[in-house]
Structure 1
Amino acid sequence: MFYLALFLVSFHVGVMSDDVADHTQSKSIVHIGAILDENSPEGAIAETCMSMAISDFYALYPHHWTRLVLHTTTANDLGSTAAAVVDLVKNVKVHAILGPQIPDAAPLVVEMGAKAHVPVISFFPTSHSLSPSKNPYFIRAAQDDSFQVEAIAATLQRFGWHEAVFVYQDTDFGNGMISSLVNALHEHDIRVAHMSAIPSAAGDFHISRELNMLMTRKNRVFVVHMTSSLGSRFFALADKAGMMSEGYAWLITASLSNSLKAMDSEIVDSMEGVLGIRSHVPESKHLKSFNIRWKRNLHLMNPNSSVTEHSIFGLWAYDTIWALAMAVERIGVTDFASLGSSRIGPRIVKEILSVKFKGLSGEFHLVNGQLKSSALEIFNVIGKGERVVGYWTPDKKISRKLYSSASNNDLKKIIWTGDSTEVPEGSAISKLRIGIPVKVGFKEFVDHKKKNVYTNETACSGFSIDVFRAVLEVLDFKNISYEFFPFENEKGEMNGTYNDLLSQVEQKIYDVVVGDITIVANRTYHVDFTLPYSESGVTMLVPVTHGKHIDMWIFLQPWRWDLWVAVIASFVFMGIVIRIMEHPTVNTAFAGSRNRQLGMTLWFPFSALAIPQRELVVKDWSRFVLVIWIGFAVILMQIYTASLSSVLTVDQLQPTFDSVNKLRTKGYKVGYQNGSFVKGFLMEQLNFTESQLIPYETIKEYHDALTKGHKNGGVAAIFDEIRYIRVFLAEYVSHYMMAGPIYRTDGFGFVCSSLSFKHIIQFYSDLISFHT
């Protein structure tokens, strides 16, 4: 009978309309309003589906005592939406409102509906933050967006992507997705590398600028959460920017996926290779019959429409009308007009929440004020259409077939952007180009050999190279492929200075520079550095003079003259103190003539140390002072003995120069490492003239120049970083030493472009652990 009734409806629309009109004379009329944008594809689809739903329902149930009357109002912004709500509530006196179509307007409509006790039922995308549990007059007759985040996370994990960029519409609708998506990805060990917010009213220039910024990032996996109006413009511009080419991966959420069939075919064609998540609609005879009639009705109602297929929003709209018609019928024979919206609204909410039936979109069952979630489809955009490649369910997760007995975590073959069948790597950099300096000397830091004739790759070694490889190994970047490129000219020599090498990164010739690169302020304006991995500082290297000259007066060298004077004075002072304390007593040692007493005063401190067992004093206080004196004297003797031993056994090394000011003012020549920033440092910071500076490259050249000295064509000192000087001193430790002040620098760091391979800066935050 059900299908027979629908068949009769399709061929006897006029007759049925007259019958319904006659019945309506004695039925309870229930006015409902719908706020749509009839100029949009989704609006046209929803309006057609709701009209068909009313016709189909009362054709099947002609004897129901209630009749829904639909009042459709057009609104495409917040202002017109608010005016539409006021008109529907105050003038039309509707008992329920369907919509709105604009996600940003949903909170306003719900708030206004709650004040009038009018239920608001939405089958369009709305923000997850707009919860039916907190808004008793709001019903979401669609799946909540938060349900799909688990499917998105499982899909990203399926292809081994550990980072993704989230591009969303900068509204409550888009922002409401952030927290649930981030949490779901975190549980699958996937990081949101960047979030790009695009306003609903953004112009093409703004979108293109944002796309250009995204192109500079190394991430190539994007999750897009937008409505169809913004999403269609976004992907058209993404295709124009070249971001729909091979290597990119795009995943669109249900809000855009569910509208794909209503979008312009040219836009859909530009989205080839995109993966989408959308609600699954089970096949049924009722749905097949509806599809045939829908196309005919759409052509009759909107002959100029470019829409050729309906979307799930239309199916939800259809099912919502049926659920609302069942709910008002359950209320019974009531004069809805006399009761008013404020009294009938709570009863409509209660009844519609208890309605259950099998609709066009599947099982219609509201749980906690929103449609119960079911399976999700994973589809692939191919050409101007799409192909389902798998499904996701909460229990089976990802599976190729929906009703298979077990999940195999597999999907059908996918055509990716750029007409590629290879799964994108997820990163813009497949192989790093690493520049290294070409060094004549100090190869302990960086050294390279000629390219291997079989692999055509350069073999590199040295401290800096070892640190770089160790960090990649420890910090889980083992799969990053890279190749070293020496910065050399045709002669195999360094092709300029270190600054010239860094400019290659700025020009994007190299992705990274690894080597003994010092972090200097003016370099940071052009490139980014990692944290330092070596000690820092610039000082000078000078020859030493040997300070050991043994002669008859060497016993005086342990103490300086002022210390000798202080010791002798303390001896005399001690003698005077003891003499004053002992003179009034019977101690004959301090009696006699003045010369004898003076002699005893000077001799007593020495005799107390030489003959400590002899009773020299009588009074107790004198003995106390004598004990303190003996203790002090013993300490002095131990210090003297140790110092004299050092003088007699150790060669005393003294720098030939320890004053930078003397080197500069006397016009002495000094050396520096060729190509280093030290030349600029000597001229700008220490005020040396360029004529005083001589460049050197190897350890041997350092040694020869210092051996000759500034009078014989060499130099008086060499200025370099402490790291290089330590390497030099390891070979010539007995002839040279560091002298003068240490001028602090930031140490060695690795270099990357400010626009490429940015995650080097992140994982090199642990480089401090590799300090030596």
Structure 2
Amino acid sequence: MALSDFYASHPYYKTRLRLNIRDSKRDVVGAAAAALYLIKNGEVKAIIGPQNSMQAKFVINLGKKAQVPIISFSATSPSLTSLWSQYFFQIAQNDSSQVKAISAIIQAFGWREAVPIYVDNTYGKGIVPYLIDALQEIDARVPYRSVIPPSATDDQIGQELYKLMTMQTRVFIVHMSCKLSSRLFIKAKEIGMMREGYVWIITNGIANSFSSIEGSVIDSLQGVLGIKTYVPETKELENFAIQWKRKFRQDNPNIINAELGVVGLWAYDAIFALAQAIEEVGFTNIGSEKTNASSNLTDLETIRVSQNGSKLRDALLGVRFTGLAGDFNLVNGRLQSSTFEIINVNGNGERKIAFWTPENGLVRKLNSANTSTYSTSKNNLGPIIWPGDSSSIPKGWEIPTNGRKLRIGVPMKHGFSEFVKVTLDPNTNKTKVTGYCIDIFNAVMETLPYAVSYEFIPFAKPDGRSAGSCNDLVYQVFLGNFDAVVGDTTILANRSDFVDFTLPYTESAVSMVVPLEDSKAKNTWVFLKPLSWDLWLTSSCFFVFIGFVVWVLEHRINKDFRGSRLHQIGTSLFYGFSTLVFSHWEQVLSNSARFVVVVWVFVVLILTQSYTASLASLLTVQQLQPTITDVHQLIKNHEYVGYQENSFVLGILKEMNFKTGMLRPYNSTNHCNELLSMGSANGGIAAAFDEIPYMKLFLANYCSKYTMVTSIYKTDGFGFVFPKGSPLVADVSRAILKVIEGEKMRVIEKAWLGIGTNCPDSNTQCLGYKHK
């Protein structure tokens, strides 16, 4: 049809394309033999074919050697382009062009993992590197690759699917032949993998052939999403489809409802392009040259080289026209067409839900005015019916169905056991794990909207000792030995290169704790300190002045204020100072004097009460101040400082220029207290450096002796550790926020860390005598 249509529309062309057909019998060797025969004996100027990517690999090399263009409209594997032949033309969408559309769908729904299921041949494996790269760009992981042999039996397919069921990932990308995929989906439905919660995405190799899939297979594809090549609807395509169906029915009267796929349209356009290129070249000299005339050489060594092959190649690269499949434009021998339809299998057929373009991403309609930026929003997708006839968006993962509990690694600690404590129950001989971090993790898992089975496994050697540092424990998750780590594990940048952390559930930063000392020493003259010297002097003057005023007002009428001059002076001074203790026995007679005395006694009352309160405070309340507040002063004075054993804090202190010999480890709160009490000069330490949660625990026990003065290093706090890309991270992080904001967090902190309780070692200060 393509040849007749082309020359009917170009009757003035001088050249005519004649087809020389050779059957490859769907075999790789057969394809190579057919191509060799056509080049050597048929002296063809171009080969249209082969049919698939496996056949194309050897045929491409033959075409390169003979300089005969190889034009394929159905070999789509990206691996064929790595052969780099100027004589190979891929008149079909390269499989790598659809990986961005697949990743856009996965990103739209926030799925973090996907498993490719592909056939074990050139066609299946060719897309995998490009697909993994596209998924990594959106931070989606590929935890497993499911490879199906081309000749796999139904039992082998079922065995592989059962393996997938035991994994937590529920997003699968299927890339294989239409025939093999039909068997796979039938088996998937049979074992229960086409129910609610699963996500299946088929590539365009399957979606483009959807019209040829039997109805029984379509029933197994319900809810599947597909990437399908977009073919513009034109009047020419509509007329051609009518003509093709009429001719197909004449040639195949027993086949009903046949549909022409996009591969047929590519084949039609390929014939048009080749006929146009041949007319441009003209073929004035149609001969070929033998590379070697020796009779002892093989057919491959005596293959003929086309004299006009390079001209035909250049002519094909320059062909431009609008074909039935869209714009025909070859760049580096590959068809440039990258628009895809997103389909959803529902009922008896497919339903178009969106488009994907390299410029705009996911769009509801093409040529829309609101597509100025690249979008991966699920709002641009139409309604989707998911497997299991569900309208709820699958979360993309489930707890594995093999019954295996999550293996949670916990550190084996011999100090600070309030955070994690591992004990062996002598009655049951089973390990028991408790502590602050464990209670928080249990509370978080109870908050999740679904049940998760897990068990705590100590990171320990057979003799019960720790098997390594915190970094070693975290690395076990990367190696796959643990499914998660729960403990006092700090979120650090270098650790996040290998694992994912949840949101922190504790405060962050590394702080310094130092001893307290009383800044105001008690001595014999402490009774003078409640009042300032100017107030002492002013008060004394007023006592004398009040005595003088009372004498002036009373000595004429009151005999108590008469007598000798010395007696009158003594009486006046005694009366003035006796108002301090209200013990004066002289009586005043005049109203003026009484008024003065009443006012002055009130002033004295205020003064004495203030003095008493201030003196009591000085004698009984400690004026505590930290012994040191500057880290650099510790370094300058060559003071010994402490850090928790096996902690990353050691590295921080070394980076701050603390000498290794000045650093002393501690392994518990009691040990830290002992070192601080001894002091740097007596074999102890002047300050302790640790993370805030440890310091809070320490201060809860020794709050009257020490204080936290400064933060020297910013951290993100404690977090739970999961493998890279684990879907549990997001749900657990949300659950952590709920626990932190609730009352349960305060109960756990009070139970394990003592936060919120009174200081256990506070005591009342007694009075004493200190001579300086």
TM-score (norm 2): 0.52
Counterpart in the other structure of 2:162: 212
* TM-aligned CA distance change 1:189 to 1:64, over 3 Å: same
The DSSP-based 3-state class of the residue aligned with 1:192 is coil
Tell me, yes or no, if the aligned pair for 1:268 and 1:384 is still in contact at 8 Å.
yes
Counterpart in the other structure of 2:358: 394
Counterpart in the other structure of 1:429: 399
Counterpart in the other structure of 1:152: 102
How far residue 103 of structure 1 moved from its aligned partner, in angstroms, is 1.6
Q: 2 CA distance for matches of 1:62 and 1:479?
A: 77
Counterpart in the other structure of 2:212: 262
Residue segments in structure 1 that go unaligned for 5+ positions in a row:
1-51, 437-441, 447-459, 473-477, 484-509, 536-729, 732-749, 765-770
How far residue 364 of structure 1 moved from its aligned partner, in angstroms, is 0.4
Q: 2 CA distance for matches of 1:433 and 1:157?
A: 29
Tell me, yes or no, if the aligned pair for 2:68 and 2:309 is still in contact at 8 Å.
yes
Matched, 1:247 2:217: no
Tell me, yes or no, if the aligned pair for 1:389 and 1:411 is still in contact at 8 Å.
yes
How far residue 304 of structure 1 moved from its aligned partner, in angstroms, is 4.1
Tell me, yes or no, if the aligned pair for 2:339 and 2:356 is still in contact at 8 Å.
yes
Q: 2 CA distance for matches of 1:171 and 1:480?
A: 42
* TM-aligned CA distance change 1:66 to 1:278, over 3 Å: same
How far residue 193 of structure 1 moved from its aligned partner, in angstroms, is 2.1
Tell me the alpha carbon deviations over residues 58-104 of structure 1, each in whole angstroms, 9 at most, x when there is no partner. Answer: 22222321111223324212122122112222232221111211221
User: Which AA in structure 1 matches 2:390?
Assistant: S
* TM-aligned CA distance change 1:131 to 1:434, over 3 Å: closer
Q: 2 CA distance for matches of 1:97 and 1:133?
A: 17
Counterpart in the other structure of 1:189: 139
Q: 2 CA distance for matches of 1:532 and 1:161?
A: 24
How far residue 301 of structure 1 moved from its aligned partner, in angstroms, is 2.6
Counterpart in the other structure of 1:380: 344
The DSSP-based 3-state class of the residue aligned with 1:193 is coil
How far residue 291 of structure 1 moved from its aligned partner, in angstroms, is 0.9
Tell me, yes or no, if the aligned pair for 1:132 and 1:368 is still in contact at 8 Å.
no
Q: 1 CA distance for matches of 2:63 and 2:406?
A: 65
The DSSP-based 3-state class of the residue aligned with 2:11 is coil
Counterpart in the other structure of 1:468: 441
Paired residues for 1:103-182 under 5 Å: 103-131=53-81, 134-182=84-132
* TM-aligned CA distance change 1:444 to 1:195, over 3 Å: closer
Q: 2 CA distance for matches of 1:290 and 1:180?
A: 35
Matched, 1:365 2:329: yes
What's the C-alpha RMSD, in Å, of the aligned pairs? 4.1
Residue segments in structure 2 that go unaligned for 5+ positions in a row:
290-303, 408-416, 422-432, 465-480, 490-699, 702-719, 734-751, 754-772
Counterpart in the other structure of 2:559: none
Tell me the alpha carbon deviations over residues 589-625 of structure 1, each in whole angstroms, 9 at most, x when there is no partner. Answer: xxxxxxxxxxxxxxxxxxxxxxxxxxxxxxxxxxxxx
Q: 2 CA distance for matches of 1:138 and 1:479?
A: 59
Tell me, yes or no, if the aligned pair for 1:265 and 1:384 is still in contact at 8 Å.
yes
Tell me, yes or no, if the aligned pair for 2:53 and 2:76 is still in contact at 8 Å.
yes
How far residue 184 of structure 1 moved from its aligned partner, in angstroms, is 1.3
Tell me, yes or no, if the aligned pair for 1:245 and 1:418 is still in contact at 8 Å.
yes
Matched, 1:411 2:353: no
Tell me, yes or no, if the aligned pair for 1:279 and 1:377 is still in contact at 8 Å.
yes
* TM-aligned CA distance change 1:303 to 1:334, over 3 Å: farther
Counterpart in the other structure of 1:489: none
* TM-aligned CA distance change 1:240 to 1:324, over 3 Å: same
Tell me, yes or no, if the aligned pair for 2:286 and 2:307 is still in contact at 8 Å.
no
Paired residues for 1:629-640 under 5 Å: none
- Which of these residues, 81, 93, 102, is aligned with residue 43 of structure 2? 93
* TM-aligned CA distance change 1:99 to 1:130, over 3 Å: same
* TM-aligned CA distance change 1:758 to 1:415, over 3 Å: closer
User: Which AA in structure 2 matches 1:136?
Assistant: Q
The DSSP-based 3-state class of the residue aligned with 1:261 is helix
Counterpart in the other structure of 1:420: 390
TM-score (norm 1): 0.52
Counterpart in the other structure of 1:57: 6
Tell me, yes or no, if the aligned pair for 1:95 and 1:341 is still in contact at 8 Å.
no
* TM-aligned CA distance change 1:445 to 1:528, over 3 Å: closer
Counterpart in the other structure of 1:202: 152
How far residue 176 of structure 1 moved from its aligned partner, in angstroms, is 2.1
Tell me the alpha carbon deviations over residues 669-725 of structure 1, each in whole angstroms, 9 at most, x when there is no partner. Answer: xxxxxxxxxxxxxxxxxxxxxxxxxxxxxxxxxxxxxxxxxxxxxxxxxxxxxxxxx
Q: 2 CA distance for matches of 1:313 and 1:245?
A: 32
Q: 2 CA distance for matches of 1:113 and 1:119?
A: 6
Q: 2 CA distance for matches of 1:133 and 1:443?
A: 63
Bigger Cα displacement from structure 2, 156-165 vs 70-79: 70-79
How far residue 347 of structure 1 moved from its aligned partner, in angstroms, is 1.5
Counterpart in the other structure of 2:454: 512
Tell me, yes or no, if the aligned pair for 1:272 and 1:416 is still in contact at 8 Å.
yes
Tell me the alpha carbon deviations over residues 15-51 of structure 1, each in whole angstroms, 9 at most, x when there is no partner. Answer: xxxxxxxxxxxxxxxxxxxxxxxxxxxxxxxxxxxxx
How many residues are aligned here?
A: 448
* TM-aligned CA distance change 1:390 to 1:532, over 3 Å: closer
Q: 2 CA distance for matches of 1:114 and 1:293?
A: 37
Q: 1 CA distance for matches of 2:131 and 2:234?
A: 33
Counterpart in the other structure of 1:301: 251
Tell me, yes or no, if the aligned pair for 1:125 and 1:255 is still in contact at 8 Å.
no
How far residue 105 of structure 1 moved from its aligned partner, in angstroms, is 1.7
Counterpart in the other structure of 2:235: 285
User: Which AA in structure 2 matches 1:308?
Assistant: A
The DSSP-based 3-state class of the residue aligned with 1:348 is helix
Matched, 1:351 2:351: no
Tell me the alpha carbon deviations over residues 129-181 of structure 1, each in whole angstroms, 9 at most, x when there is no partner. Answer: 22178211111111221111111111111111111111112222222212211
